[in-house]
Amino acid sequence: MFESILRTPDVVLVNGNIADENHIDKSVFTLQDVRVETRRQHEQLIIYVTAENTPVSHVRLRWHFRKKLHGQILGDAWERAYADLGWTGVTPYQTLPWYCLIHLGGMTAGYGVMVRPGALCSWQADPEGITLKMDVRSGGSGVELGGRKLHAATVVNSVYTGMSAFAAAQAFCREMCTDPILPEKPVYGANNWYYAYGRSSAEDILKDAAYMARLTDGAENRPYMVIDDGWQAGRYREDGSYEPVYNGGPWMPNGRFGDMKELAEGIRRKNVIPGIWVRLLQDDRSGLPENWKLPGGGLDPSVPGVLDLVRDSVDRIGRWGFRLLKHDFSTFDVFGRWGSEMLEEMTGDGWHFADRTKTSAEIIQDFYRTILEAARPYDMLVLGCNTIGHLGAGLMHMNRTGDDTSGLMWERTLRFGVNTLAFRMPQHGAFYDTDADCMGITKGIDWKLNRQWGKLLSLSGTSMFVSVSPDSLPEDQEKELRAQLLDNAVRRPAAEPLDWQETQLPEEWLLDGRKTSFHWYPPEGLRVGCANGPVWEKVWREVSAVLDTKEDEAK
């Protein structure tokens, strides 16, 4: 029913032009000085690209099928999911990053590349065949290999029978990644962003940690207290007023946080593990060389000095005593686009990294590897956010797999939380531990709705982080939250979305071996388009006004 592509492709294009098949070695294709090799090795097809002088931008491999392709198709996302994952019919113009699954008649086929490829890879499926598109640019310009043989990708292709599409997706993710690094215990706890939104202090964090300790009293596996954006010097002006725009480094504390080593020790004294958020490729300190910066303003991770700066920042945070590092924004800082803006490609033409001899995929992996190596001496877990999962598998313990949920707007939590939890769940435990983002607890979201998100997270087998102001909940809600956190502290099997082939927001789930139904929709229904755009901006202005008032009252 499904045809294998672990063979020489029928057509190869280099920089948009058809390459010639070598008459002696049919697995080699050439165009001028560019050479593309496809070598079958065991149950894989390894792809190499070599060029002496020609900058190489794109390589496309096309396999023709003898029978028309039918079925439901599921792809991945370039970085985080943006409520855009779901099964569809065969859609020829659809870009399917990293891998695609095709389900038909009780069988599921997987077409993908092994994690950490040397190219940014995507698939395109149509009734007559399948195409692998490999972006081997350095930024937005052709890579200059100078005779180097680039291992662009390793293709894998399997067909699964006698199992659900979900079980097949799990198996295929394990096939694409054979060397994940995973936390020894479930990771859960608090993150202060979705109730504080950056307005915080060392005193506030210690209160958060004490509250989390009380909620999880009796749990042998202790929770984390993750300090999110707002602790760094650039977030507050010298007069102490909040700066809502800049959220980069240098990664030193502002006056509201003071001695970070003392703060980490204070969190630990409350029997809670300290964690912290950073944006390592944004730094506005004076004196940094201009050639360290990319056109969009982010730091260029192909520059050795930038990687030294990253290494120093991570090392300092480790010496302070933090044991979870959440690094954020790097994909946007490099490519200048959010995942929702990445359609066929992750970035546009016309720019390049300082090092033009490496592909974007190789440079990003060097950046992730630098973070991991700097974190290792401190046994610090690495949690990627706005990262590229297929390049980070094996280089990060955890991955925030969707865009931000919300403490203000239920629609945003539903779209960006439930969707990514369901459709990235096959990657959980295969690539890394997945994190579908927080349960933001404020009066802005009806507890009857939010408690369902908490229940799903708590029994999902993935991480559960909550954002809640200490002692702000009524006794009955606090009791429910405590039970959910204690449930999440114990290792559980990955939840299975049972109706994920019928909807992008699954309501039927298998949780810890028990079928559970959810009711996501308020009586008035969802506000269409509210997760972004004018409505979201209006809500953000309203919450900012409330936080400004609180700051004035505190003064």
Summarised one tens digit per residue, pLDDT across range 146-185 is 999 999 999 999 999 999 999 999 999 999 999 999 999 9
Nearest to 43 by CA among 218, 221, 175: 175
Summarised one tens digit per residue, pLDDT across range 75-89 is 999 999 999 999 999
What average pLDDT does range 347-369 have in this prediction? 97
Question: Of 530 and 439, which is predicted with more confidence?
Answer: 439
What percentage of the chain's residues is helix, strand, coil (to nearest 5)? 30, 25, 45
> Which are the contacts of 275, defined by CB distance < 8 A and separation ≥ 6?
189, 224, 225, 226, 227, 322, 323, 324, 325, 326, 381, 383
**% of the chain surpassing 70 pLDDT:** 93
pLDDT at 547: 59
- End-to-end, the C-alpha distance of the chain in Å comes to 70
pLDDT exceeds cutoff 90 at 225: yes
Strand intervals (E) in 401-463: 433-435, 439-441
pLDDT exceeds cutoff 90 at 532: no
Question: Of 23 and 163, which is predicted with more confidence?
Answer: 163
pLDDT exceeds cutoff 60 at 537: no
Q: Which of 28-37, 226-235, 512-521 has the lowest mean pLDDT?
A: 226-235
What average pLDDT does range 278-288 have in this prediction? 90
What average pLDDT does range 121-141 have in this prediction? 98
Q: How far is CA 87 from CA 73, 199, 230, 364, 456, in A?
A: 5, 40, 38, 29, 21
pLDDT at 549: 57
Summarised one tens digit per residue, pLDDT across range 265-281 is 999 999 999 999 999 99
* Cα atoms in the 13 Å half-sphere on the side-chain side of 137: 19
d(CA 94, CA 85): 12
- Bridge partner list, 158: 110
Q: How confident is the model at residue 385 (pLDDT cuts 50, 70, 90)?
A: very high
Q: Which of 196-210, 232-246, 328-342, 413-427 has the lowest mean pLDDT?
A: 232-246
What average pLDDT does range 280-303 have in this prediction? 91
pLDDT at 247: 83
With beta carbons less than 8 A apart as the criterion, state whether 448 and 455 touch. Answer: no
SS3 string, 149-201, reads EEEEEEEEEEEEECCCHHHHHHHHHHHHCCCCCCCCCCCEEEECHHHHCCCCC
Q: How far is CA 378 from CA 71, 314, 325, 435, in A?
A: 48, 10, 11, 22
pLDDT at 449: 95
pLDDT at 399: 98
- Bridge partner list, 509: 497, 516
pLDDT at 79: 98
What average pLDDT does range 391-417 have in this prediction? 95
pLDDT at 285: 81
pLDDT at 394: 98
Angle between helix 304-320 and helix 260-269 axes, rounded to 10 deg? 40
With beta carbons less than 8 A apart as the criterion, state whether 274 and 225 touch. Answer: yes
Instruction: Compute the mean pLDDT over every residue in the chain, rounded to the nearest whole number.
Output: 94
Phi, psi of 431 (to 5 degrees): -95, -40
Counts for the chain of helices (H) and strands (E), in that order:
13, 26
**% of the chain surpassing 90 pLDDT:** 86
71: Cα separation from own chain's centroid: 28
Summarised one tens digit per residue, pLDDT across range 233-261 is 887 766 666 665 568 889 999 999 999 99
